[in-house]
Amino acid sequence: MAIQKAKFSIGDIVKHKHFEFRGVIYDVDFEFNNSEEWYQSIPKNVRPRKDQPFYHLLAENDEITYEAYVSEQNLLMDDSDEPIKHPLIEEIFSGKKGSSYFKPSN
């Protein structure tokens, strides 16, 4: 598989194209890097290609916060300008500007 260039960056706030959740990206895999069991658990008719970036998100919906692993084809930039209310935000990022969070500069 050819390694793909990521469309989104660490700190970007994104939303899922098909499901009602949004999140902030805290890590990127330039191609699928999860278990085959996880991949096969996705219904075949919506299963994403493996040869694209996958993003680790601190995610939230109206009820809970959680971590998500989402393919690039299923993400859009979130332009709501609303902060993410995940409890781990402050452990990873030091602030927010516009539609992105930023990491501390050490």
Per-residue pLDDT of the chain (106 residues; tens, 9 = 90+): 555 689 999 999 999 999 999 999 999 999 999 999 999 999 898 899 999 999 999 999 999 999 999 999 999 999 998 999 999 999 999 999 988 999 887 6
Beta bridge partners of 32: none
Task: State pTM to two decimals.
Answer: 0.91
At position 21, the amino acid (one-letter code) is F
Spatial CB neighbours of 78, under 8 Å, sequence gap ≥ 6: 13, 14, 15, 22, 99
Q: Do 5 and 28 touch, CB atoms closer than 8 A?
A: no
DSSP state of 88: T
Q: Judge contact between 7 and 57, C-beta under 8 A.
A: no
What are the structural domain ranges in the chain? 13-102
